[in-house]
A and B are shown apart, each in its own frame.
Chain A
């Protein structure tokens, strides 16, 4: 499974959304992406890529799109 596929899987599993809706997905854009969902998603990302995401990056992770750049900072290539 490619890194992009893994990233997508985290989003689909945590927020129960369809792949076609991912590109426009933002924090609080769906009911499941609230503060609890946000922290669950972060925990899943950390486990999937075996990284520890810094506080600043947790707060900046506000959409599906911006998340790629954040995960890249931890040496993950997409």
Chain B
């Protein structure tokens, strides 16, 4: 059964929830058999996920029974959900009971663990590529219905590589801090299930006392975060807390500023913990590289070395490999975890592997004399905001539907939107927040007389300044 290695004892505890319940391997297996009896064939299902038992058991069961889940946030906007359903024609939905009323016209076939299986209207079925395992979103926040097509081999190889460099065994007890629909959050779950570890499952966040009580009482052994997680941890004086069970901290989803990075490395060193800086993209299932903790200070700011089975190359604008240290170019990754490609609608789900193991990351990188890699910038208009990737072009597209002219630029963790109508600033601000879920403190809407353009009519971003 996915993604477990064979020979798990039936009574092995797979999940412990924050209300104190334990669930065994036997529980998830019998749940999976029930799902198999009801659905019975390979098809597409939308999985509205959250860090609860219903969500994780649903996910495991779908993959195990060759049913292809599309992982979405359970708090997803209703209009966006409906639009995405129209584009992908899923046969089923797996969603929290409290969202079932939106689909009151359809039949609920099965409910368990506060989740329900809803059968949607019968539409003409369409084929799914045999290798396709799951669809993941590239950005939780821009409300894009473009997904990454991940294969069974992608999931397996990445979970194996990650569990190997993190030395995960059955004694590990990771606490969930990241959502399951996020490739990084899902990778934590996969690599721990693989090795028979016990997932400490909670929807609570690190600014709630219940999260820390759960972490301490259940003796969590690892915590994973994106840069903003660590900024909050610093504010919470995390390094002064007594957390003897916690042995491993992992960071991915963007670059931490060097001071805080160093502070975390030193804290880990002095308290006998391991701090892993890691790098990845959903297009590579999750992980591409990691910095071994013993190098965390010596190679501060580095994304480290490729994972086992993976390989980096740096190429110039003409696609030629750059071999010299210190010279920047686009980072290209080669490995079994490189996804099959993108999907924009159900028509793409039969498509073959577009990438063949090769991923142009869009990140600019260089390596040093010891072959450690460093990200120096971005080639395209993607940026990472609170760990989620945001495409500035997509925000412009979204706004172009309601406003005549606009432009977006981004810095480290802030987006600036420019519009030419002074009276619509707060309206546009609310609109972006509502449609994308981007926090209203993470972007600003500014007035400018005219959007600057080049002779070719393209927006001249270099002329835009806040």
Residue pair A59, B439 in contact (C-beta under 8 Å)? no
A 17-59 contacts with B by CB, 8 A: 27, 31-32, 34-40, 42, 55, 58-59
Instruction: Verify if B205 is at the interface (C-beta below 8 Å from A).
Output: yes
Q: How far is the CA of A42 from the CA of B386 in the complex (A)?
A: 18
Instruction: Verify if B23 is at the interface (C-beta below 8 Å from A).
Output: no
Say how far A47's CB is from chain B's closest CB, in angstroms.
Answer: 13
Residue pair A58, B207 in contact (C-beta under 8 Å)? yes
- Known A-B contacts A27-B208, A59-B207, A59-B212; the reply to A35 vs B232 at CB < 8 A is yes
Task: Give every chain B residue within 8 A of A14 (Cβ-Cβ).
Answer: 441
Q: How far is the CA of A36 from the CA of B226 in the complex (A)?
A: 12
Instruction: Verify if A60 is at the interface (C-beta below 8 Å from B).
Output: yes
Task: Give every chain A residue within 8 A of B430 (Cβ-Cβ).
Answer: 16
Closest to B441 in A: A40
Q: How far is the CA of A35 from the CA of B228 in the complex (A)?
A: 10
Q: How far is the CA of A49 from the CA of B442 in the complex (A)?
A: 24
Residue pair B437, A31 in contact (C-beta under 8 Å)? yes
Task: Give every chain A residue within 8 A of B228 (Cβ-Cβ).
Answer: 36
Residue pair B440, A32 in contact (C-beta under 8 Å)? yes
Residue pair B442, A58 in contact (C-beta under 8 Å)? no
Task: Give every chain A residue within 8 A of B232 (Cβ-Cβ).
Answer: 35, 39
Say how far A70's CB is from chain B's closest CB, in angstroms.
Answer: 12
Residue pair B235, A42 in contact (C-beta under 8 Å)? yes
Instruction: Verify if B206 is at the interface (C-beta below 8 Å from A).
Output: yes
Say how far B97's CB is from chain A's closest CB, in angstroms.
Answer: 18
Task: Give every chain A residue within 8 A of B386 (Cβ-Cβ).
Answer: 36
Say how far A76's CB is from chain B's closest CB, in angstroms.
Answer: 20
B212, B241, B442: the one within 8 Å of A36 (CB): B442
Instruction: Verify if B236 is at the interface (C-beta below 8 Å from A).
Output: yes
Residue pair B439, A34 in contact (C-beta under 8 Å)? yes
Say how far B19's CB is from chain A's closest CB, in angstroms.
Answer: 17
- Known A-B contacts A31-B437, A36-B228; the reply to A55 vs B208 at CB < 8 A is no
Say how far A52's CB is from chain B's closest CB, in angstroms.
Answer: 10
Q: How far is the CA of A32 from the CA of B438 in the complex (A)?
A: 9
B 200-235 contacts with A by CB, 8 A: 205-209, 212, 228, 231-232, 235
Residue pair B237, A39 in contact (C-beta under 8 Å)? no
Say how far A72's CB is from chain B's closest CB, in angstroms.
Answer: 19
B208, B209, B212, B439: the one within 8 Å of A32 (CB): B439
Task: Give every chain A residue within 8 A of B433 (Cβ-Cβ).
Answer: 31-32
A16, A37, A59: the one within 8 Å of B208 (CB): A59
Q: How far is the CA of A13 from the CA of B302 in the complex (A)?
A: 38
B207, B231, B240, B241: the one within 8 Å of A38 (CB): B207
Residue pair A55, B439 in contact (C-beta under 8 Å)? no
Residue pair B207, A55 in contact (C-beta under 8 Å)? no
- Known A-B contacts A42-B235, A55-B237, A58-B236; the reply to A37 vs B209 at CB < 8 A is no
Residue pair A39, B207 in contact (C-beta under 8 Å)? yes
Task: Give every chain B residue within 8 A of A36 (Cβ-Cβ).
Answer: 228, 386, 439, 441-442
Task: Give every chain A residue within 8 A of B440 (Cβ-Cβ).
Answer: 16, 32
- Known A-B contacts A40-B441, A59-B212; the reply to A35 vs B206 at CB < 8 A is yes
Say how far B188's CB is from chain A's closest CB, in angstroms.
Answer: 18
Task: Give every chain B residue within 8 A of A39 (Cβ-Cβ).
Answer: 207, 231-232, 235
Residue pair B205, A55 in contact (C-beta under 8 Å)? no
Closest to A46 in B: B235
Q: How far is the CA of A58 from the CA of B237 in the complex (A)?
A: 11
Task: Give every chain B residue within 8 A of A34 (Cβ-Cβ).
Answer: 205, 439
Say how far B225's CB is from chain A's closest CB, in angstroms.
Answer: 11
Task: Give every chain B residue within 8 A of A40 (Cβ-Cβ).
Answer: 441
Task: Give every chain A residue within 8 A of B212 (Cβ-Cβ).
Answer: 59
Q: How far is the CA of A62 from the CA of B207 in the complex (A)?
A: 9
A31, A32, A58, A62: the one within 8 Å of B235 (CB): A58
**Chain B 222-266: CB-based contact to A (< 8 A → 1; otherwise 0):** 000000100110011100110000000000000000000000000
Say how far A67's CB is from chain B's closest CB, in angstroms.
Answer: 13
Can you name 23 A-B residue pairings with CB atoms under 8 Å? A16-B440, A27-B208, A32-B439, A32-B440, A34-B439, A35-B205, A35-B206, A36-B442, A37-B439, A37-B441, A38-B207, A39-B231, A42-B235, A55-B236, A55-B237, A55-B241, A58-B207, A58-B236, A59-B208, A59-B209, A59-B212, A59-B236, A62-B209
Given contacts A35-B206, A36-B442, 13 further A-B contacts (CB under 8 A): A14-B441, A16-B440, A31-B433, A32-B439, A32-B440, A36-B228, A37-B439, A37-B441, A55-B237, A55-B240, A58-B235, A59-B209, A59-B236
8 residue pairs, one from A and one from B, having the closest CB atoms: A59-B209, A35-B205, A38-B207, A35-B207, A55-B236, A36-B439, A55-B237, A40-B441
List residues of chain A with CB under 8 Å of any chain B CB: 14, 16, 27, 31-32, 34-40, 42, 55, 58-60, 62
List residues of chain B with CB under 8 Å of any chain A CB: 205-209, 212, 228, 231-232, 235-237, 240-241, 386, 430, 433, 437, 439-442
